[in-house]
Structure 1
Amino acid sequence: MSLVEWLKGKIQQKEDETEIEKVHTRRVKPEYRIIDEYEVNPPNSKVKIVSSPELGEGLYYFVEEVELTQEQYDTYQKIVRILSKEFTSPTEEHIDPIEYVYEQAEVIAEKYHKALGKFTIEQWDSIFYYVVRDLTGYGPMQVIMEDPMIEDISCNGLDMPVYIWHRKYESIPTNITFKSTQTLNDFIVKLAHKSGKHISSAQPVLDAMLPEKHRLAATFMNEVSVKGSTFCIRKFRAEPLSILDLINFGTISARIAAYFWLILEHKKSFMIVGGTGSGKTTMLNALLSLLSQNDKIVTAEEVPELSPPVSNWTQLNSRESFTTTEGQGDITLFDLIKVSLRYRPDYVIVGEVRGEEAYVLFQALATGHG
């Protein structure tokens, strides 16, 4: 499906909605104690870390977005409605959908300025913010997705607060709760669509990568999760941490870093083992910065997470079958590791080893590949 087709479908969906999305966002009360606050997408959104006996023990992550007046909200709906009828295809093949929708909204605001009402520049900016947020972004989750301090976002089901893992405050609940089953299901489908995957009652489990290179895991409806649809988004840094960053953070010592450098230099094999969220991928990406630019690298992953800073790199990813027949057409890690040995690599790097691919991996280790 093309960008235009997807946007038109999303615009039509918005037009068909008769009420505001059923996502509850609690506001900060004056009696709450504000521990920290910072802007994410100024001037339209900010984050506040708060505490209050009313909320319970611990800290809470509050998203605050600019509020629209009723007149602004009516104009927002009109713009979405007009976009559904007058949205035009971009002339360029590769274009940022966020910028394009923003430009289209500005064109409509100029064309129908008499019918849409008079607003200040700041008020128009707020209206456009919601148009872009809801049509091309992540809706009520947009601020969390843009917050560079967030490492992990998880929703455990309906009527439960979305949780985040904050780099400074660790695991805390947010003020965002999905109150509508349909809204939560639609959001899961939107995440799947953004990642170029499919999720449904027939295929209720999803493991994918979002356009921003964040890892997505999701379940659909009550097929495998008792509390309804769920999702977890693991956000990755735009620029991976280097080995020097890990030394400066105290994650590893300079002596251990030098030891790993010797291992890589002499093409010895090793494995990085740890629990979920312990930093295995972060560590591996940092170690890859020690490789020579002339080495031939082949990576095999289910979801692309590795990014060695070399040009001589072949990136292999597994995929599911396009047919409904189970097992036919699947490209597994087992297949990728076998084919990687034919690329005459200096190093074969496997993202995760959890099944039969371990057999081929150890065969590869026995051949002397790094």
Structure 2
Amino acid sequence: MGILRKISRLGVRSKKDSKDIASKVAEVSMYTRHIRAPLMPLRQRPSGEVVERYSIMDPWSIAYIVLSEETGEYVYFVDEVPLTEEEVRIYRRIVDFLMWEAGELGEGEDPRDFISREARKAVELFRLRMGRTPTVSWSKILYYIEREIAGFGPINPLMLDPNLEDISCNGVGVPIYVYHRKYESMPTNIVFQTQEDLDSYVVKLAHMSGKHISVAFPILDASLPGGHRLAATFMKEVSQKGSTFTIRKFREDPITIVDMIGFATLSPLVAAYLWMAIEHKRTILIMGVTGSGKTTLLNSVLNLIKPNYKIVTIEDTPEIRLPTSNWVQLVSRPSYAAGESRAGEITLYDLVRLSLRYRPDIIVVGEVRGAEAYVLFQSIATGHGGATTIHAESIDAAIKRLTSPPMNIPESYIPLINIALMVERVNVRDKEGKTRATRRVTKIWEIKEDGTPIQIGRWSPSKDIHELSVMDSYILKRISSSAEVDLKYIHEEIYRRARVFEWLQLKNIRNYRDIASIIYRYYRSPSSILERAEAELSVVAIGREEAGGSVYGERQQ
């Protein structure tokens, strides 16, 4: 007998029928034994002070940040309203119904939107068929159906929390860890209790990314729906504690240059300096360790590009987001062949070579690690602008990496790097004396024609300000010479643009498309934007004193 016939038999025909929902559910239990109940977070909240509480999906999931009395560390506690036994049985039946009776996916329709729509229809159908059910919360059942089928299952609340950057599972019986923008790394109350549950979940993540993971191919690097970056291992082939995964979340609303000014990652003057540099196709290299914010900084700087420039970006995993339509986004592809064969593989090297055929104004490589660096530097030498990131802890370490295998950049090419930035995770002390972790652009170098790096900017840890010697900039002098523009005008223009950034921060104009719109209008009519900015800044105190009496924290000579 089909599932629809079973559902029709659950129609309320009498008062007696409406009193015994549990017996009706049992009639179709044979169809739903294989469907698992949703995995739930641990219910016992750790003892300690609740530092912060906010809703993730009201009223079904709430996040608590607890300062644990036992360990003295912050704990991210997810409070999800659990399903009752009766609701679990109904949940299983609806999921089974969706598996067999859901409609067809429309052309171009988002699969998650399709699943959510079909789930709502199924829940409404079951609700009508089962009649009055005062002990059943249908909206709660719908929440869990969408969480498990259209969402990310047990970690769905973590994926929905915009305050989280990374989600990491280190094995069975180990709490999932998250990296919070405010509280940094901390454990959660979400734990995979069995190897089977964790293995199944890693396979689900692989399927969501359109990739394959198995004992034969136990390592996965892929992109999840929404652009989130996934790295995973399967079973105990390469990780002693069994399957593992890490998700680096991609924000739908990316961090912009105005956000970074607000976070004090950089100053308005540094932002204006970078704007001037990238406008004149100067090459920018961003350095830092893993998780320091290199790609975030790169993405925010690229949003300052002139509107008529053509951009080609090349990445392993698509993370860059730009507001312009004159943008070609290229992504590498791993080999589809088994064993040591590299059949079908498309590397960053292949894509950088291909990008030259597109006649780009600026070529961006998400991160240089191998032979693609050589082709990138060759393209820069022919007049293209460029920007990229590299894992390095200093300018000397970056140059050594670039000139050593597998990149093998000739030392004569090093001066093609015009500007190098170091971004780091640092600890700063607030007005109350509390230490917090944050990110700062800590050093800025310019590379002279003989390959010598000259530091022109730094972050002062004691004052928590950025100091930039605009007047000593070698690159600005070269821009002045090549554009045949008076150097004094360029210096003044940088300060004017710094005022624009202060105004954008004051007005909280932080969306990347809104910022791009202001920049485009600035190119058309700089005086109108400046007049508006100065008028609104003049009536509001900036609220921040810079070092040495300089408005922008410029180092006094």
Q: TM-score, normalised by structure 1?
A: 0.89
For the structure 1 residues 36 and 294, does the alpha-carbon distance in structure 2 shift closer, same or farther, using more than 3 Å as the test? same
User: In 1, are the aligned partners of 2:46 and 2:66 still within 8 Å (CA)?
Assistant: no
Alpha-carbon deviations, 1:26-83, whole Å to 9, x = none? Answer: 22449543221111011111111113334x2211111111122221111111212222
How does 1:279-290 map onto structure 2 within 5 Å? 279-290=293-304
Counterpart in the other structure of 1:172:
186
Inter-partner Cα distance in structure 2 for 1:196 and 1:190? 10
Q: Does 1:259 align with 2:273?
A: yes
Inter-partner Cα distance in structure 2 for 1:255 and 1:18? 58
Counterpart in the other structure of 2:34:
17
Q: Does 1:148 align with 2:165?
A: no
After superposition, the CA RMSD in angstroms is 2.2
User: In 2, are the aligned partners of 1:208 and 1:216 still within 8 Å (CA)?
Assistant: yes
Q: Does 1:59 align with 2:74?
A: yes
Q: Does 1:47 align with 2:63?
A: yes
Helix, strand or coil for the counterpart of 1:143? helix
Q: Does 1:366 align with 2:381?
A: yes
User: In 1, are the aligned partners of 2:40 and 2:190 still within 8 Å (CA)?
Assistant: yes
Inter-partner Cα distance in structure 1 for 2:366 and 2:374? 15
Helix, strand or coil for the counterpart of 1:71? helix
Q: Does 1:336 align with 2:351?
A: yes
Letter in 2 for 1:147: D
Inter-partner Cα distance in structure 2 for 1:161 and 1:117? 41
Counterpart in the other structure of 1:7:
none
How does 1:1-370 map onto structure 2 within 5 Å? 15=32, 17=34, 20=37, 23=39, 25-29=41-45, 31-54=47-70, 56-90=71-105, 92-113=106-127, 116=130, 118-119=132-133, 123-324=137-338, 326-370=341-385
Inter-partner Cα distance in structure 1 for 2:130 and 2:317? 45
Inter-partner Cα distance in structure 1 for 2:124 and 2:280? 64
Letter in 2 for 1:33: E
Counterpart in the other structure of 1:8:
none
Alpha-carbon deviations, 1:294-319, whole Å to 9, x = none? Answer: 10111111111111221111111100
Inter-partner Cα distance in structure 2 for 1:166 and 1:106? 33
User: In 1, are the aligned partners of 2:61 and 2:80 still within 8 Å (CA)?
Assistant: yes
User: In 2, are the aligned partners of 1:323 and 1:329 still within 8 Å (CA)?
Assistant: yes
For the structure 1 residues 137 and 336, does the alpha-carbon distance in structure 2 shift closer, same or farther, using more than 3 Å as the test? same
Helix, strand or coil for the counterpart of 2:287? coil
Helix, strand or coil for the counterpart of 1:272? strand
Inter-partner Cα distance in structure 2 for 1:258 and 1:337? 29
Pick the structure with greater CA Rg. Answer: 2
Shift in Å, 1:322 = 2.4
Shift in Å, 1:219 = 1.1
Inter-partner Cα distance in structure 2 for 1:244 and 1:310? 18
Letter in 2 for 1:196: G
Q: Name stretches of at least 5 consecutive residues in structure 2 with no aligned partner.
A: 1-30, 386-557
User: In 2, are the aligned partners of 1:246 and 1:252 still within 8 Å (CA)?
Assistant: yes
Shift in Å, 1:163 = 0.2
User: In 1, are the aligned partners of 2:61 and 2:157 still within 8 Å (CA)?
Assistant: yes
For the structure 1 residues 32 and 288, does the alpha-carbon distance in structure 2 shift closer, same or farther, using more than 3 Å as the test? same
Shift in Å, 1:109 = 3.8
Helix, strand or coil for the counterpart of 1:278? coil
User: In 2, are the aligned partners of 1:164 and 1:173 still within 8 Å (CA)?
Assistant: yes
Inter-partner Cα distance in structure 1 for 2:165 and 2:155? 14
Helix, strand or coil for the counterpart of 2:155? helix
User: In 1, are the aligned partners of 2:222 and 2:317 still within 8 Å (CA)?
Assistant: yes
The more displaced of 24-33 and 140-149 is 24-33
User: In 2, are the aligned partners of 1:288 and 1:309 still within 8 Å (CA)?
Assistant: no
For the structure 1 residues 266 and 108, does the alpha-carbon distance in structure 2 shift closer, same or farther, using more than 3 Å as the test? closer
Inter-partner Cα distance in structure 1 for 2:131 and 2:113? 23
Shift in Å, 1:24 = 6.0
Inter-partner Cα distance in structure 2 for 1:26 and 1:257? 45
Inter-partner Cα distance in structure 1 for 2:166 and 2:67? 21
Shift in Å, 1:120 = 5.2
Alpha-carbon deviations, 1:222-257, whole Å to 9, x = none? Answer: 111111111111112212222222222211122222
For the structure 1 residues 300 and 142, does the alpha-carbon distance in structure 2 shift closer, same or farther, using more than 3 Å as the test? same
Letter in 2 for 1:17: H
Counterpart in the other structure of 2:14:
none
Inter-partner Cα distance in structure 1 for 2:119 and 2:146? 9
Inter-partner Cα distance in structure 1 for 2:304 and 2:99? 51
Letter in 2 for 1:79: I
Inter-partner Cα distance in structure 2 for 1:244 and 1:16? 53
Q: TM-score, normalised by structure 2?
A: 0.60
User: In 1, are the aligned partners of 2:49 and 2:68 still within 8 Å (CA)?
Assistant: yes
User: In 2, are the aligned partners of 1:78 and 1:116 still within 8 Å (CA)?
Assistant: no
Letter in 1 for 2:107: E
Helix, strand or coil for the counterpart of 1:218? strand
